[in-house]
Structure 1
């Protein structure tokens, strides 16, 4: 949908089109669930109420056909990226988020654009391994579940870890997204990572 969420008071024609499409989708008996990530953590239920969406917590557990799933954005698994984890702790502080929500939209826009430029620059200087998930963090996340689903690293794949799975979703782009299809009616719990071109 967007590269960064600057506040529930933001509006644009392209966003209104998406909101209207999601309203129709929900009116047909579907539900839209949203889990925030590193660039849209300021999004809250106020925006999702426009189309009857549901905001999930940072870590969400669900059971499908007897299999335990853990869903999360994935940035918390990148524990080797110490500078990012430090930044995340500061920027997601509830007091700072509440303060930023009260600042003018123009200020938040400049702030987010600055963060994005710095993030892009930082990525150029970091190694692939530092920006990827930490193996121990993944194993810890899989302790009480069968399947871990996350994004953030944008390296889509289904990884077998002994008798468990880690599924990495790809980035949402203007013309493409990665979707995980789960067939709960299958005895083998079929999971397929699909590239959706739109």
Structure 2
């Protein structure tokens, strides 16, 4: 895995078979197999035929209903509101949680969909996990031990925790997801304290009743 590099040129042999790539930094990488990731586009043909609103996916409201109140959309193809923007997520967690939410809506339990998204991937010896949606201009602070490849990056927007990305720190992700689920705040200045400990922060924030339980 190489970060900070782009594709500049693909070398081919006399038969036209790709044999290597030249990166934007000038490095040459020989390869036997090439996999090209070009992104995905949602399949919205059925929605168009049904005259539903589409915009980078099937547009739904905070209850995951389309412009036709009898039709729901969920998962990779659904564009749903989050804050002042909209998003479409391609993940197992998102599809599963939205499916559960739609089932509750059909049963008459009508609450807005507000589940915090989370993602994971295992790359060799590294377990990568993410909670929340982090923007490039969010403020970040790092906890853990980057040199040991066990750390988390906490992201803050307007001083409030909005997401976390972790390498080999599953416990941090469990804590962050619980904090989002239970609306337990974490401020940037708290995380930047030299003595800050994520587990202790959660423990101190839990109500006395919860601690007894």
TM-score for the superposition, normalised by structure 1: 0.24
Richer in strand (by share):
2
Higher relative CO (Cα under 8 Å, sequence separation at least 6) belongs to 1
TM-score for the superposition, normalised by structure 2: 0.23
Larger Rg: 2
